[in-house]
Every structure is written in structure tokens, then in C-alpha cells.
Homo-oligomer: A and B are copies of this chain.
Amino acid sequence: MVRRTRDKALETRNRILDAAERLFSEQGVSHTSLADIAKAAGVTRGAIYWHFRDKGEVFTAMVDRVTLPMDEMGACGAGPRAADPLGAVRASALFVLERATSDPQCRRVFDVMVHKCEYLDEMVEVKQRMAKSQQACVRNAEQAFRDAIGRGQLPAGVDPRLAAVGLDALLHGLITSWLANRDYFPLKRRAAAMIDMYLDGLRRAGPASAPRSTTRPRPKTARKRAG
């Protein structure tokens, strides 16, 4: 069995990536050899070396096939012309969690990216892909929060940047924890409640929102600079 037509070749390429996706998710990236992938895909290593330069290229190609959870955040239109920016953020966040928990391929690949690979210098491409995804998420949320303040949906005391970074961290933390142990928290069922809890907290924030805690640290005479 040798040369197939162009589309057959593409199909072979996808079978390789499918196999890589499964094996990476089962055994981790560095513990999966190209021989393993070839065997699982029903081809030889020669086929892999024809389509990709090395394992790193297989990995990035596998990642490039899917839409990451946070990518949904930038997609959902929370632009300045949206009538309900806060609602858009809510919908986007729910979409992110929905995709992360329900789309099997997205879930598998993201799990590999978070828990089954090591980020060294050679992984810059994938790392930057993730960083871009995150930055888009934060920027979008920040803009939406700013708009929400302008439209009176949020009090002026809210720091849009802080709120956006917090939302991103919350989503990221939820997804990664849930992927590490799905019994830990029923993320799908409680996703809406979690997002609403966070957004409601912003909505009700007072202008001078200082905690009234009694054990709050007294202001020291000399304050250390924190970087």
C-alpha cells in the first residue's frame, strides 16, 4: 500500500494527529514515541516524517486543529456596540466552560496542553498560542467591563483590568482543576452559578470597597515595595 491521492494523504495526516491526540492524552507527550503514534495510526514512522519534521511539529499541528476554550471569549462579540456587555461576558464565559467540559476533542487537547506536556524553550509556539488565547480573553473582558461601567451595568469603582484578570484566572483555574479531577466539582452543572456569583460580586461592589475585617493587617510604618 503506497501512494494515495491528495485527499487520502490528508486523511493519513489526520489519522496520525488523531492517534497522537489519543496517545498524548493517555501517556503524555514525551513518553509517547513516534513509533507508538505510527502504530496506532496504522502507518510507519516514514509517513510521520513525511508529513512532519519531528514530534514537536506533530504536537503543534495537533494543537492547531482545535479551538481552545478561551478562544471562545474573543469570538463572542462583546464589542463596544453591544447593548449588554455584561451579559455578553456572562455568555462568553459560559461558552468557554461549556466547550471545555463538553467538547471531547477540545477537552482532550487542552488536558494534554495543561497536564501532559512540558513547556521548555522548544515549545514557544504552543506556549504563545496559549498566551495569545489568554490575552485575548482578558482584553475582551476588560473592554466589556469598561463598557459595562459606561452603561451603568457596573459601579464605577470596579477596576476593569483587575476584574478581567480575575475572571480569566477563575475560568482557567476551574477548567484545569476539573480536568485534573472531574469528581472534584460538578463544573458543568454549577458553571452558571459560579459565573453569576463572580459577576454579581462585581455588580454590587461599592465605590470604596474596603474590607471590614478585624484581623486585617495594621499598616506598617515601613511598607515593603511589592513587585
Contacts and interface: CB of A to CB of B under 8 A. Distances in A.
**This chain: how many copies in the complex?**
2
Contact of A131 (B86, B166, B180, B196): B180
Nearest to A217: B91
Interface in A169-223: 169-174, 176-177, 180-181, 184-186, 188-191, 193-194, 196-206, 209-211, 213-217
Nearest to A205: B200
A61 interface: no
Contacts of A197: 159, 162-163, 166, 201-202, 205, 209
Interface stretch (A7-15, A45-53, A112-120): A112-120
Given A83-B214, A116-B119, A205-B201, A177 B166 contact: no
A201 to B, nearest CB: 2
A162 B189 contact: no
Contact of A118 (B116, B200, B226): B116
B177 A169 contact: yes
A90 to B, nearest CB: 6
Contact of A173 (B162, B163, B172, B211): B172
Nearest to A30: B30
Contacts of A189: 226-227
A27 interface: yes
A165 B185 contact: yes
A134 B178 CA distance: 12
Given A30-B31, A159-B193, A173 B180 contact: no
A152 to B, nearest CB: 11
Contacts of A214: 83-84, 87
A28 interface: yes
Contacts of A198: 166, 198, 201
B200 A200 contact: no
Contact of A90 (B115, B184, B205, B213): B213
Nearest to A89: B213
Given A166-B174, A189-B226, A201-B205, 10 more contacts: A90-B213, A134-B177, A159-B197, A169-B177, A172-B177, A191-B226, A198-B201, A200-B201, A200-B205, A204-B209
